């Protein structure tokens, strides 16, 4: 039962005592010593403790045994608990070791990646350096890396601007088409008026020709619009005047050539009068023959120019021979002749 004791008295005694010789004792003046067995001391202490516990708590021997038993149970429970904790602790340590191992692996991977990154950075710097060289080369006319980007940007901007311009132009075109349609309507009306007038001219001309040939012609019925009444009245008086002139000419057969000229002159006068009248009507309906371009004379710009000192007269100008143009001229003449034949 010694192992169940809380205190190993023997061991305690052994630890707190020392071994000596008889001579040493004698030297210290000890001639007689009392000797006690360690087993007995242990037994005495145990007995003493039991007695103290029994007297101090009022418990009997059985109670003490029960107490010891409970204490032992408690001890076992505590021991199991501690063992469990220890086991958990060991498990945690194991997990920690695993984590540490993982951490080591991660650190190694991180280090490896850092090295890779450094390598990539180095390569990137090398590429940047090459790009810079290319840009410099482009600026000096050896390459076009930078120009390409500028060109793309420029084209993109141009495209956007062109789109806006296109839209604006489309709007303008639509507006112009509307205006054009209105103009066409006005033009159609004017053309009808013009055709009516031309018909009148044709009939009057025919009448004049008949008169010139000595024939009697009935005046053509005038299918005219109300606006032209005034004009026709005026024309009628012109025609009457022509008739009178022609009769006069006809009464002088010896002067045929002169008569022809008189007819021609009169025709010209009529034509001029008709043109004037047509222009007048044209203005009323918003159509005009249009003003003739007046000649612009800018000769005076060169009047005050003094001769400049130059060597140009001593310098040759580039010169080359070409194919002839006689074929082209002949063809134009031929076309003109064909047109002339058709007219006649």
Partner 1 sequence: MSDRDRRLPGLHAGAADSRTREGESDEGGSIDRMSHAKGGSSPNNGAEAMLGKGLDIGTANIVASVQSEDGEITFRLERNAFLDIQGDVYSKSMLTKLQVPYVVQGDRLVVIGEAAFELANIFARETRRPMKDGLISPSEVDALPMIRLIIEKCLGKPRQQGESVFFCVPAESVDKDNNVVYHRGLFEGMLRKMTYTPHTIVEGHAVVFGELAEKDFTGIGLSFGGGMVNVCVAYKTIPALTFSVARGGDWIDKNVAEVLGIPKSRATMIKERGVNLASPKGREEEAINIYYRNLISYVLQNIKNRFEADIRNMPSFPEPVDIVCAGGTSMVGGFVDVFKDEFAKIKFPIPVSNIRMASEPLNAVAKGCLIAAAISE
Q: How far is CA 140 from CA 134, 154, 198, 339, in A?
A: 10, 20, 73, 64
Q: Are 172 and 182 in contact (CB under 8 A)?
A: no
Residue whose CB is less far from partner 1, 55 or 326: 326
Q: Crossing angle for the helix pair 38-57 and 61-139, nearest 10 degrees?
A: 100
Binds partner 1 by CB under 8 A, chosen from 62, 218, 293, 341: 293
Residue whose CB is less far from partner 1, 62 or 292: 292
Give the number of other Cβ atoms within 10 Å of residue 95's Cβ: 10
Residue 56, φ and ψ in degrees, nearest 5? -75, -35
291 binds partner 1 (CB under 8 A): no
d(CA 185, CA 207): 33
Q: Tell me how far, at minimum, the Cβ of 333 lies from partner 1, in Å.
A: 7
136 binds partner 1 (CB under 8 A): no
Contact letters for partner 1, residues 214-253 (x by CB under 8 A): ----------------------------------------
Binds partner 1 by CB under 8 A, chosen from 299, 304, 342, 344: 299
Binds partner 1 by CB under 8 A, chosen from 15, 62, 298, 342: 298
- Binding segment for partner 1 among 129-137, 226-234, 247-255, 320-328 (CB under 8 A)? 320-328
32 binds partner 1 (CB under 8 A): no
140 binds partner 1 (CB under 8 A): no
Burial class from Cβ neighbours inside 10 Å (0-12, 13-18, 19+) for residue 235 reads buried
d(CA 344, CA 336): 12
Q: Tell me how far, at minimum, the Cβ of 188 lies from partner 1, in Å.
A: 10
Query: Which residues between 42 and 71 bind partner 1 (CB under 8 A)?
Result: none
Q: Are 197 and 228 in contact (CB under 8 A)?
A: yes
Q: Radius of gyration (Cα) for the chain, nearest Å?
A: 70
d(CA 269, CA 311): 59
- Binding segment for partner 1 among 59-67, 80-88, 121-129, 321-329 (CB under 8 A)? 321-329
Contacting positions for partner 1 (CB under 8 A): 144, 147-148, 150-151, 154-155, 180, 293, 295-302, 305, 308-329, 331-333, 335
């Amino acid at each position: 039962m010694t192992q169940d004791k809380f205190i190993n008295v023997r061991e305690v005694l052994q630890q707190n005592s020392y071994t000596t010789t008889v001579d040493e004792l004698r030297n210290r003046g000890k001639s007689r010593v009392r000797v006690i067995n360690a087993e007995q001391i242990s037994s005495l202490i145990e007995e003493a403790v039991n007695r103290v516990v029994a007297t101090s708590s009022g418990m009997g021997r059985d109670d003490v045994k029960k107490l010891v038993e409970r204490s032992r149970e408690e001890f076992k429970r505590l021991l199991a608990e501690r063992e469990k904790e220890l086991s958990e602790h060991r498990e945690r340590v194991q997990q920690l070791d695993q984590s540490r191992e993982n951490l080591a692996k991660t650190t190694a991977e991180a280090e490896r990646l850092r090295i890779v990154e450094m390598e990539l950075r180095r390569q990137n710097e090398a590429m940047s350096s090459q790009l810079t060289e290319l840009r410099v080369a482009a600026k000096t006319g050896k390459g076009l890396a930078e120009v390409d980007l500028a060109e793309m940007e420029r084209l993109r901007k141009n495209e956007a601007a062109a789109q806006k311009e296109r839209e604006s132009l489309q709007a303008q075109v639509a507006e112009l088409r509307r205006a054009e349609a209105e103009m066409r309507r006005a033009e159609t009306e004017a053309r009808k008026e013009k055709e009516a007038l031309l018909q009148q001219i044709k009939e009057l001309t025919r009448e004049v020709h008949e008169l010139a040939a000595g024939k009697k012609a009935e005046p053509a019925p005038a299918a005219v619009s109300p606006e032209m009444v005034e004009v026709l009245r005026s024309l009628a008086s012109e025609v009457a005047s022509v008739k009178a002139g022609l009769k006069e000419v006809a009464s002088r057969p010896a002067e045929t050539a002169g008569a022809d000229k008189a007819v021609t002159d009169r025709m010209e006068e009529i034509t001029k009068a008709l043109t004037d009248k047509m222009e007048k009507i044209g203005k009323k309906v918003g159509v005009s023959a249009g003003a003739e371009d007046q000649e612009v004379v800018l000769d005076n710009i060169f009047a005050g120019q003094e001769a400049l000192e130059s060597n140009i007269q001593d310098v040759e100008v580039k010169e080359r021979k070409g194919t002839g143009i006689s074929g082209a001229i002949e063809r134009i003449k031929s076309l003109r002749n064909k047109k002339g034949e058709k007219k006649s």
